[in-house]
Structure formats: C-alpha cells, structure tokens
Chains A and B, each alone.
Chain A
Amino acid sequence: MTAGVDRSPPGPTRFPPAVRLERLVHRYPNGIEALRGVDLEVPTGQRLALVGPNGAGKTTLLLHLNGLLKATGGRVWICGLEVSAGNHAAVRRQIGYVFQDPDDQLFCPTVLEDVGFGPLHLGLPPEAIGAAVRQALAAVGLPGFEQRVPQRLSAGEKRLVALATVLSYQPEILVLDEPSAWLDPRNRRMLIELLGKLNKTQIVATHDLDLAWDLCDRTVLLCHGQVHADGPTRELLSDRKLLEANGLELPLRLQGVQPATPAQMR
C-alpha cells in the first residue's frame, strides 16, 4: 500500500522540500546493492519514520543525506541544495546527524567541547559559541553540564548530550539513527517528548515502532533497498500483513501490550 507524498497546496512561493531523493542507488565496492532506486520527498517540518528489517538500507540511506556516503546513482537535495563534493560544508550546516552509538559522537574531552564542536567547525564566530552551547544544553534539559566528561555520563545523559551536539548549530533537519536504543523506558519517554517539542524536520530510522507511532506523522517502509510503503504512520503501522511481509511486527501497543504512561513510571 503506497500513499502519495503530501504536497503542500501551491502558493505564491514554493519552498523546496527539506529532503529530496531521486532514484538513489548505492552499490558497495563488493557489488552488493544496498539502495536500489529510492525516491523520497520530505517537506519542511515533517517528522518521518524510516522503518525496515536489518539490512534494509536505512542507515545507508541516512548516510547519503549529509554526504558521508557518495551515491552510486541518483541525486540528493537538502533544502534545495544538491549534495555534491563541493558543498558538503553547506549541507552539513543544515543537517544534525545523531548516530546510533552516542560514544561515536562524543569524542571530545568535555561536554563543552563536544557541544561546541559543531558551531566551531561550521563557522559560528567564537564569541557566540558559549551561548550556543548553553542554549543547546538547556534545550535537552542538562544545564550546567559543560565541564562533565563523556565517559562518566549515563547512557541517557549521553544520548541527550549527543542531541545537544547537533542542536547547538541549529540545523534545519535532524537525522536520528535508532535514537531510543540503549535507553531505559523513562529516558526513552523523555527523548520522545523532547523530540516532539523540537520544531524541526526530523527523519528517524528506528526499530522502535512505538516511538514512530508517538513521534512521526509519516512512515516509510524500506526493505531490500527499496521503498515498499509510504504513508501516514498510524495507517501503515496497523497493517499487520504489510509489516510481517517485510520482516517486521505490529507495534507493541497494538499487540495488546500497553506501554507505561509517565504517571505509571514515576
């Protein structure tokens, strides 16, 4: 079941979509095709969930968005700018990529340097960095964490600081790879609420279908490097046959298991 991509009504000015993929193909050096022609348009402000079984190509797709992987075929546009070797800096300024393992992303000796790394290398003036760091840490609910060291943070704190490292340079688009992995239920709930409050385009690759249900308006189902389904989250994720045909299951909440509410968890 595929649904057409939402198109905003034509008006005097058409903003380009935040992300546009045209026939994206990626072939590894050993010949394996991870992406076999993906077409996708993500309008500004949308929250998109990218779901699919292992090996579907979710991470591979995400890595093309900021040019970390070079497409074998097809094209990628970010905010109307085509991603190519020459404009990586401009593209990466618009994308905040949150990696699956926070330890990959927290590579500086202190939280201050980590959160300030993006602004520093993406062109913010040095005087403005301190304020940017403070704001980002406050936004994720960890004010005053500047002098902490990454190795002594808890898993939940690491995840939030990782988010802060990309919020500090205020990109247009957030890309998150398995954001709820490693998190206990309370931290997971906090993360979902936080992401819900952020007013940015979000693309979330996840196995956590309940997170997709709570957070994202639209879901794209990827399998074997191709888009097998694309539509409103609640519709797509209630379709048991579709999910099972693609190596997935219904979200837990639809399997008769109610996730805990915040009141129950306190």
Chain B
Amino acid sequence: MHEKILTCVEPPLTLLQRLDPRIKIVCALVWAVSVVSLPTRHTRVLTAYGAMLLILVVLGHAEVGKFLRRLAAALPLILLLVGLLPFFSRGQVVWQMGPLQITEQGLESAQRVGVRAVLCLAMVCLLWATTPEAQLIAAMRGLGLPAVLAGAIAFMLRYLYVLRPELHRLWDARAARTVGTAAGVGFRSAANLLGAFFLRAHDRALRVSDAMAARGYQGRSLLLPRDRFQPAQILVGVTFIAVIIGLRWLP
C-alpha cells in the first residue's frame, strides 16, 4: 500500500518544496495546535484556515496528485470515527433505537473532531507531499528528536522497502506449498512465517550493523554538516505563523 506513496521528490520546483523542512514541520505543528485549541464557535476562523490550506495546496501545485492520494487513503478512518462519535456522549437525546442513542452533545463532538481532524490531516498530507521522507527525518533530528529515535525511523524507512517484498515472498511461497486450507495459509503456518520473518529481520539487522562497523561506525552517529537557516525562509515561516495566530482574532 505504501510503496506507491513513499516516493522521492525530483529536483525541487515549487516554493513549498524548497522550504527548509524544519521550518515546515514547525509551521505544521503550530497549525495543528492552533486548530485543536480553537473553541468550536469560531467557525469563521476555521473557514479561514480552510481557505489558507487551499491556497497552500495551490502553491504546491506540482504535488497535488500525491497530496490527494495520501488524503484519500487516510480519510476513511477519520470518517468512520466521526460517524461513531455521536453515539458516545450523554445529553439531550436526538434519535434513539433500542440501546443506541444519538445526542446533541455527541453530534457537536463529532463535528468538532471531524473538522479539526480533517484540517490537521490535510496539513500533514501537504507536508508529506512536498518533502522527501529522508529530509523530514533529518529535520526532526535537527529539531531535537533523540538520535536513537531519529535513527530508528530512518532505518525503518529504508528497510521497509527491503522487508516488505521479503515478507510477500515468504507468504506467497508458503501459500503455494499449502493445499486445502480455505485461507491458503493456516494459523500455525502464518505464525511460523511471521516468526521466520522476524528472524530474517534480526539477522539482517546484524549484517547491517556489521556493514556500518566496517565503515567506522561505533555507535555515535555523525551527521553531515547541516545547512544554516536562510533568512528568507525564516521570514516565510514567521509570516505563516503570524497569519495563523492573527486569524484567531477574526470576529
């Protein structure tokens, strides 16, 4: 599912792609925090935020396809959640069938969560669509994520491409050998397969760490020197944040 989506961005074209990933991450976080902390009644502010998002999508026009695909993949879950929420609050009953009831508070909650979830998801998808994953991880490391964690994510990303095909091969080989079970692969078989997959992954990790040690790695990761922040980009970031915060005071 993810192989199509985890792609490499070719030489940067649009403004959003050229922006320093660290600035982009900070802006996305500020956006999300602002969206989540807005009281519900500020509908105008939320609409303004939505408009801002559309403008940003247009600014990143080269990546609209990727943005939409990612959005489409993640949206159904949010909609499912939002569909369930009205049943889970107590208060003034609006509809009832047996033990299930929908309350006004529930509807309000669903609307609140839905709007915020979609706005934040859209921003994350935009971030994803305009930044190569490697840069995102390096940016997180630069912003203070512990080295072990950032390194783990980077390795996970790299070896996902190697491990998933391996898992598929194991699975298909197993299914081809098994006759008679409805699912093609029985439970014991599948558990053994996952166990075998773990052992392969473990062995590969040992080999990779050997390869790293062979090239001088001793446990402390050194980084290639990072580019400094360019003043123009800082200005862009600060402006964006100022606009987000300023919009909160819309009457």
Contacts and interface: CB of A to CB of B under 8 A. Distances in A.
Check A-B contact in the complex, CB < 8 A: yes
A99 B134 contact: no
Given A109-B154, A129-B224, A122 B207 contact: no
Interface centre among B158, B211, B217 (most CB of A within 10 A): B211
B157 to A, nearest CB: 7
> Could you say which interface size class chain A belongs to?
35 or more
A123 B162 CA distance: 30
Contact of B222 (A107, A108, A121, A151): A121
Interface string B157-193: 1110110000000000000000000000000000000
B116 to A, nearest CB: 32
A97 B214 contact: yes
B155 interface: yes
Interface string A33-73: 00000000000000000000000000000010010100000
B12 to A, nearest CB: 11
* Interface class of chain A by DSSP: helix
Interface stretch (A24-32, A112-120, A222-230): A112-120
A172 to B, nearest CB: 14
B81 interface: no
Given A121-B217, A149-B8, A104 B211 contact: yes
Interface in B188-223: 204, 207-208, 210-218, 222
B246 interface: no
Contact of B216 (A63, A93, A101, A110): A93
A126 B207 CA distance: 27
B225 interface: yes
* Interface class of chain B by DSSP: helix
A104 B158 contact: no
A95 B213 CA distance: 12
Contacts of B204: 104
A113 B214 contact: no
Contacts of B213: 68, 88, 92
A114 B20 CA distance: 22
Contacts of B154: 108-109
B208 A107 contact: yes
Nearest to A165: B215
A236 interface: no
A190 B155 CA distance: 30
A121 B218 CA distance: 8
A118 B207 contact: no
B95 to A, nearest CB: 51
User: Which 5 A-B pairs give the minimum distances between C-beta atoms?
Assistant: A109-B134, A121-B216, A151-B161, A122-B216, A118-B215
